[in-house]
Amino acid sequence: MPDAAPEFAAAWSRFQTLQRLRLIPQTLESEWTQGRDRYLALLIPIDDPQVIAHIRPTVGAITGIPGVEPYPEVYWHATVKGIGFLTDTGSGREEVSEAQLEAIAEAAGECFAAQPGFEATIGPANAFDEVVIMEVWDAGRIRALNTLLLERLPGVARYPFDGRYFLPHVSIARFSSDSGLTELKEVLAELRSEKPGAGRSFQVGFVDLIVAQLSEEAPRLEPLGRYELRGPR
């Protein structure tokens, strides 16, 4: 079982009680974005063909549920740490300038170079109030990286879900309305009952720095750099 098993169970319980979801307009037009549309993050891309094939049936099961908008496969990833919005000045809350990004990128490279690669496993389907997810079980390694980056990256944004609250996951769909919430709960419950344990495993040997172009469509991820995990095992 993963270190985060109780937290994933708690997330599932919370989702079961939801009466309303956080919809796409709320996530794009909230006070968080404030009109900004270039978001920086460090993430692990899901590009293993066998892992992609393992996730596809879950996506197929929720496709067609009213209000559920699956993300394209090219978007699938496990976030390690959100950095902030890339802006000209980097002077606002959760903003980073090009110059600040250089310092962050250098510090991130030093962090990752000292960390060994590891194995992660796709767990069962789950959901938060704004996305459907696949759990990622990794014996706490991504959470540990998230915590390390909080300590080492200069001026990086700190979110309520970082550190010991961080739950590694792959987002596979977002919500355009609440109309299919009851059906979605039923379908996800059935999927969790059918496949309660771990699924396909994959090796994590690097982390990508990306900028996500936010829009009404699924965010477009543009790679800025790649960091290998080279530390001693």
pLDDT digits (tens, 9 = 90+) for 14-27: 999 999 999 987 76
pLDDT of residue 218: 86
Percent of the chain with pLDDT over 70: 94
pLDDT at 196 over 80: no
Segment 96-121 mean pLDDT: 96
Whether residue 116 contacts residue 233, with contact meaning beta carbons closer than 8 Å, is answered with yes
pLDDT of residue 29: 52
DSSP 233: -
Structure tokens at 94: 């959760």
pLDDT at 105 over 50: yes
pLDDT at 135 over 80: yes
Question: In 3D, which of 13, 16, 18, 23 has the Cα closest to residue 174?
Answer: 23
Where along the chain do its domains lie? 5-219
Q: Vertex 231, ends 230 and 233: CA angle to 5°? A: 115
pLDDT of residue 1: 41
Reported as a single tens digit per residue, the pLDDT across 22-71 is: 998 776 555 567 778 899 999 999 999 999 999 999 999 999 999 999 99
Phi and psi dihedrals of 144, rounded to 5?
-65, -40
Does the CA dihedral 53-58-64-70 come out positive or negative? negative
Is residue 58 within a helix (H) or strand (E), and if so which, with residue range? helix 49-62
Architecture category of domain 5-219 in CATH = Alpha-Beta Complex (3.90)
Q: How many CB atoms lie within 10 A of CB 105?
A: 17
Residue the block writes with tokens 């919370």: 14
